[in-house]
Amino acid sequence: MQCGALGRCCVQNTDQNVNTIDLGRACEPRRLSTLLLCSMLVLACELESSPDDSQRQAPPPTVPTRVVPVEPVSLQPSIPNKPVEHASVAPPPQPPAAAMTPAPSAVEPQAAPDKASFSLFVYMVGSDLESGHGLGTEDLAEMQLVGSSDDVSVVVETGGANKADWKTVKRWLIGQDSRKELEDLGEQNMADPQTLEEFMRWGVQNFPAERYGLVLWDHGGGSVGAAYGFDENYDNQGLSLMQIQQALINGLGGNKLELLGFDACLMATVEAGYVMSDLASYLVASEEIVPGYGWNYQAVLSTLMANPSIAGSALGKRIADTYLAWGEAVDVVSGGNQASNLTLSVIELAQIAPVVDSLNALVERAVADLASLGRDSLIKLAQGRSRTEEFGTDRAERRYSDLADVKDLAGQLAAVYPQEAADLRAAVTAAVSYSVHGSAHPRANGLSIFFAFNMLDAWNLETQLSDYDALGFSPAYQQLVREFAIQVNSDDTPPVIDQEYYSAGLLTAQVEGGDITKVNAMITQSDPLTGSVLVLGSDQASLDAYGRASYRWTGELGTMNDSYVYSIVEVDDDATRVIVVPAMLNDEAVDIRFVVDKVTQQLTLMGVYPGYDSNSGIIERIVYDVVAGDIIAPLFPRYDLSTGDYTYVTWMEFTVGDEGLYFASKRLPAGDYQLALNAEDYAHNWGSSNYFPVEIPAN
């Protein structure tokens, strides 16, 4: 398994004695193909747009050397031939309750320069991104291709990884082809807000400038709980948004950042923008995950060096454009389509207050309707939320960030609150000065928001809601999120399906309740020994305005490399369809995503996504490539009809050949199967029709 661009491999153990998959990870790196990748990344830099006419042209960039070869290891996965139950995941980490270590005493500046035009600070929490993959080291080397000057200072603080030279916190001045260690502060927790505060205070004192920028580099987790900066040496503790805010208030000493960037996943949120709105002019962040290769620091620093007075909006646009170009170059090398999943936004933080004002106007009406209209209002709100563009999903582990695009959410509620929705959409458009997104996110508009929906039955929901209440965000919206969660969780009545009829491949039924979010047709095989059914495939059924559902079965099922797979349609827009196949890749749970261009009917592999780490609860930034010899065991849902328990099991294992991965469909083999309709309501209750026997005759 080749790990994307600058990726990693994780080997999991299978305990065959108990037939359960152990999701504990023992990470082992494998060799990456470097030469072609580097050449393509250079090509991407050459294709990037030129700076504005008012800017001085940067010198031609030096060839980046982003990929560090690592020694291969032997992988000998052992996967049972029969279905194997898929284990649950560990809870996500929580931010530290208070400062964990005392701040270091102030140090004398290292020959402090005259006031520069721009000082860029990078707070690089290495985590497993460095210890497992060397991604921090590679980005440092990339920065060194440009370095600092009298006009631009590039200063980095590193630590937070369980690796030599990263177990202590160090400060560096980035030069061209070199970096100078300014201080070694010893062991400190980079998830302690005091550590970030001291770095900013020290940086402003020692590298004064007309304007400042800060990049927060590591994993990201969105708006709730531990949002960023997971220190591997301190149990993967992370910083909450409020802790980051307080660290910057104290550390900046009244200065304001021209640009605050997150080279981290899931941080382009309304909440992050609101909390940081007094501390920076522009926020650059992604609604979706950020692959391991992250930002193109050579291109970004070259632009800054060429024009140190560049506006934050223009610098942010450069970051976004070169990030997307980098992803497209990686795709040329890998043959995948990772760029279709990329998003990056440039958000003018002065415009966040109108977004929150417009949001408040909408949610105040929604809260009032919940109180006065009850169930009818709840259904309309839930249906709008269920159709909204989402980010940070993990189908294999059934884990979700519950981050939804706020402009798309407003659009989904426009029929209920037309004026308020229009005002909110206009406010978001004004706040997002620039954004890029791939085809897999056609309705990504640059800003997401936390709206608990998919994880309402999570064991830590109350903790999440309490953390969200403490965020210092909109009280009206926080009230809506909490009341929605409480009312939805109080509904444990499943949908009722009756008047079923099956004939000649057409299954119809009446779905009662009026609160249905989707109806799927399922093709299954029963297991009389265990009293369970194995779901071989699922497809969307039609549902009319009167609750009549119908589905015509063709006898075909999705396949991957000619092996039958269970697949989920994640996006089905006018131009794009995204198909997700949950599977085990060399014993690691992954989501294998394919993207279909509906105009050209071209289907390509988007990538293989490991999702949330089962030990730390952090969403992974690594996107895997698949190579010949990798072993894939597709995951199929299994339902216990007596208990209603739902588990994933592995089946139809195959070994990848030289052709890589491809998706198609074909007719099921001769045999006896069952066909049923399955309806889900807004509270994620499921109701099933009778299971109708269907037979595939032998040819």
SS (H, E, C) 294-351: CCCHHHHHHHHHHCCCCCHHHHHHHHHHHHHHHHHHHHHHHCCCHHHHCEEEEEEHHH
Q: How far, in Å, CA of 176 to CA of 143, rounded? A: 8
Strands (E), 438-587: 448-450, 496-503, 506-512, 516-527, 532-540, 542-543, 548-552, 556-560, 563-564, 568-572, 576-585
Q: Is 685 exposed, middle or buried (0-12, 13-18, 19+ CB in 10 A)?
A: middle
The two tokens of residue 22 are 């152990």
> What's the mean pLDDT in 686-691?
91
- Using one digit for the tens of pLDDT, what is the confidence trace for 421-432? 999 999 999 999
Q: How far, in Å, CA of 6 to CA of 338, rounded? A: 13
User: What's the pLDDT score for residue 14?
Assistant: 29
Give the pLDDT band (50/70/90) at residue 573.
confident
The two tokens of residue 601 are 């009917």
- Using one digit for the tens of pLDDT, what is the confidence trace for 89-109? 333 344 333 333 333 333 344
User: What's the pLDDT score for residue 83?
Assistant: 39
For residue 198, the SS3 value is helix
Pairing of strands 257-263, 209-217: parallel
Q: Residue 10: enclosing H or E segment and its boundaries? A: strand 9-15
Is pLDDT of 85 > 50?
A: no
Q: How far, in Å, CA of 460 to CA of 458, rounded? A: 5
Task: Pick the range with the lowest mean pLDDT from 263-267, 526-530, 669-673.
Answer: 526-530
Q: Break the chain down into helix, strand, coil percent, rounded to 5.
A: 25, 35, 40
User: What's the pLDDT score for residue 102?
Assistant: 32
> What's the mean pLDDT in 119-129?
97
Average pLDDT, the chain: 84
User: What's the pLDDT score for residue 396?
Assistant: 76
> What's the mean pLDDT in 51-55?
38
Task: Pick the range with the lowest mean pLDDT from 85-94, 231-240, 291-300, 335-344.
Answer: 85-94
Q: How far, in Å, CA of 657 to CA of 659, rounded? A: 5
User: What's the pLDDT score for residue 421?
Assistant: 98
Q: How far, in Å, CA of 142 to CA of 124, rounded? A: 14
**Between 280 and 462, whose confidence is greater?**
280
> What's the mean pLDDT in 610-633?
88
Is pLDDT of 22 > 80?
A: no
Residue 154 pairs with which residues in a beta bridge?
A: 120
User: What's the pLDDT score for residue 51?
Assistant: 41
Task: Pick the range with the lowest mean pLDDT from 41-55, 477-491, 512-526.
Answer: 41-55
